[in-house]
């Protein structure tokens, strides 16, 4: 008999949908010990939150997250609302003894994130941040290869996240769907939005980053603000790039932008080691490119591996070889892993603390972009 897990979701946007889908789909494909119950969804617009609840099967709605957090019939608070709400909700939820899941980035700054880490660790509640790309089967396969030592000493890492959706000067900032352009809400631009994904994966695959040197740019300096109706300065970074050194001695380049015409959501990563190299690309997320120097010389080449076989990560739960899954499945995998960890009384990675490490890097990047200097990434001692 599965154990009920009562979920209260905050936010009904893009991420509210991906999370809700994960809650509903996980047990159809994965055998977990929990039965997720969509207890309540919370958002400010009462009419629209009711419509969302009806569509996804939430039992009730709230319009004030404080009420949600206080409800005794909620086990887990899942935060899928804009970045400026993450810290306050997470801290309150932890204090109320709820498990907490939070969309990325954790906070708008490492300072906010630190408070969130402190709250969940003090409350000893399971917690997780939705850096979903770790759960792409192809990326997980790459993680396996690295952990098995198949690449040998790592020399290089490079990651990019390229989009092109904000090039038009007519695009306003702020409000629903466009809060990512409003620095007060988002905290930063592509650094916290896109680079944060690249950094989370990189820290997981390649270890800690020691120091960075960065540049950022805001191409469009003013945009109409949807909430005020006035043309206002744009406070976010439209593009952000940095060089860095990892603690394992490897060098890396990172770049994110929303001004790379022709790229919708091109998150690519590559890692080069002594014996092998691997690449991945979100636009064809079910493939990795793998080069093994130990293959016979005249037959060496990059293998395009179609990650859809039962012996590849997560794929035995889905269809048959050759039939791909998509973007939404990464959230299903992450929630399945969360439930499995919960059964073992653990948090699933990335925890709030893991995500704080990413924020430490993004903070360093933004700092370096201002100082024009190499900036050390702070190293934190894990609370015992």
What is the distance of C-alpha 280 from the center of its chain? Answer: 16
Contact 365, 194 (CB under 8 A): no
Residue 376 · residue 208 · CB < 8 Å:
no
The smaller minimum CB distance to its own copies, of residues 229 and 249, is found at 249
Token pair in block for residue 93 = 């939820």
70-129: contacts with its own copies (CB under 8 A): none
Q: What is the distance between the alpha carbons of residues 168 and 269, in angstroms, rounded to a whole number?
A: 27
Interface positions, 157-186, toward its own copies (CB under 8 A):
158, 162-165, 167
DSSP string, 85-98: GHHHHHHHHHHTT-
Q: Among 115, 227, 251, 341, which residue interacts with its own copies (rule: CB under 8 A)?
A: 251
Q: Which of 198, 241, 269, 366 binds its own copies (CB under 8 A)?
A: 241
Collapse the DSSP code of 235 into the 3-class scheme (helix H, G, I; strand E, B; otherwise coil) and give the result.
Answer: coil
Residue numbers 286-305 binding its own copies by CB under 8 A: 286-287, 290-293, 295, 297-305
Pairing of strands 222-224, 276-281: unpaired
For helices 137-147 and 196-206, what crossing angle results, to 10°? Answer: 30
Using CB under 8 A as the binding rule, the residues of this chain from 306 to 335 that contact its own copies are 306, 308-309, 311-312, 318-329
User: What is the smallest separation between the CB atom of 55 and its own copies, expressed in angstroms?
Assistant: 6
Torsion of CA 361, 313, 263, 328, to 10 degrees: -100
Quick check: 94 and 80 in contact, CB under 8 A? Answer: no
3-state secondary structure 284-300: HCCEEEEEECCCCHHHC
The smaller minimum CB distance to its own copies, of residues 155 and 367, is found at 155
Asked whether position 135 contacts its own copies by CB under 8 A, the answer is no
> For residues 45-74, which are near its own copies according to CB under 8 A?
55-56
Q: How far apart are CA 324 and CA 182, in angstroms?
A: 36
Q: Which range in 110-118, 226-234, 261-269, 358-366 contacts its own copies by CB under 8 A?
A: 261-269
- Closest to its own copies by CB, 296 vs 345, is 296
Contact region for its own copies (CB under 8 A) — 25-33, 105-113, 182-190, 354-362? Answer: 25-33
The site for its own copies, by CB under 8 A, has a size of 88
Find the distance separating the first CA and the last CA of the chain, reported in whole Å.
35
85/166 with CB nearer its own copies? 166
Q: For its own copies, which is the closer residue by CB, 3 or 275?
A: 275
Q: How far is the CB of 205 from its own copies (least distance, A)?
A: 16
Minimum separation from the CB atom of position 366 to its own copies (A): 15
């Amino acid at each position: 008999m599965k154990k009920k897990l009562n979920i209260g979701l905050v936010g009904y946007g893009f991420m509210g949908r991906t999370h809700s889908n994960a809650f509903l789909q996980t047990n159809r494909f994965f055998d977990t010990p929990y039965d997720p119950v969509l207890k309540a969804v919370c958002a400010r617009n009462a009419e629209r939150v009711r419509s969302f609840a009806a569509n996804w099967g939430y039992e009730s709605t709230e319009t004030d997250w404080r009420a949600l957090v206080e409800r005794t019939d909620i086990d887990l608070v899942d935060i899928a609302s804009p970045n400026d709400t993450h810290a306050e909700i997470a801290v309150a939820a932890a204090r109320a003894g709820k498990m907490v899941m939070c969309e990325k980035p954790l906070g708008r700054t490492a300072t906010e994130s630190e408070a969130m880490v402190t709250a969940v660790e003090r409350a000893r509640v399971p917690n997780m941040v939705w850096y979903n790309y770790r759960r792409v089967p192809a990326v997980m396969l790459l993680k396996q290869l690295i952990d098995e030592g198949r690449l040998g000493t790592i020399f290089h890492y490079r990651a990019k996240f390229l989009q092109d959706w904000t090039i038009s000067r007519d695009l306003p900032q702020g409000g629903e769907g466009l809060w990512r352009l409003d620095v007060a809400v988002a905290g930063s631009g592509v650094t916290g939005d896109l680079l944060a994904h690249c950094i989370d994966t990189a820290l997981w695959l390649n270890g800690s980053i020691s120091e960075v040197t960065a540049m950022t740019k805001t191409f469009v300096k003013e945009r109409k603000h949807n909430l005020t109706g006035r043309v206002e300065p744009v406070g976010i970074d439209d593009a952000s790039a940095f060089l860095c050194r990892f603690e394992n001695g490897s060098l890396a380049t990172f770049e994110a932008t929303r001004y790379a015409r022709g790229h919708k959501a091109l998150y690519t990563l590559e890692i080069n080691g002594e014996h092998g190299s691997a690449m991945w690309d979100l636009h064809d997320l079910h493939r990795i490119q793998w080069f093994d120097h130990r293959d016979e010389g005249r037959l060496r080449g990059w293998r395009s591996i179609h990650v859809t076989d039962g012996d590849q990560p997560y794929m035995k739960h889905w269809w048959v070889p050759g039939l791909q899954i998509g973007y939404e499945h990464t959230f299903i995998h992450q929630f399945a892993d969360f439930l499995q960890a919960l059964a073992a009384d653990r948090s699933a990675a990335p925890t709030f603390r893991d995500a704080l490490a990413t924020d430490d890097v993004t903070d360093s990047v933004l700092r370096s972009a201002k100082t024009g200097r190499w900036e050390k990434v702070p190293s934190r001692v894990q609370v015992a």
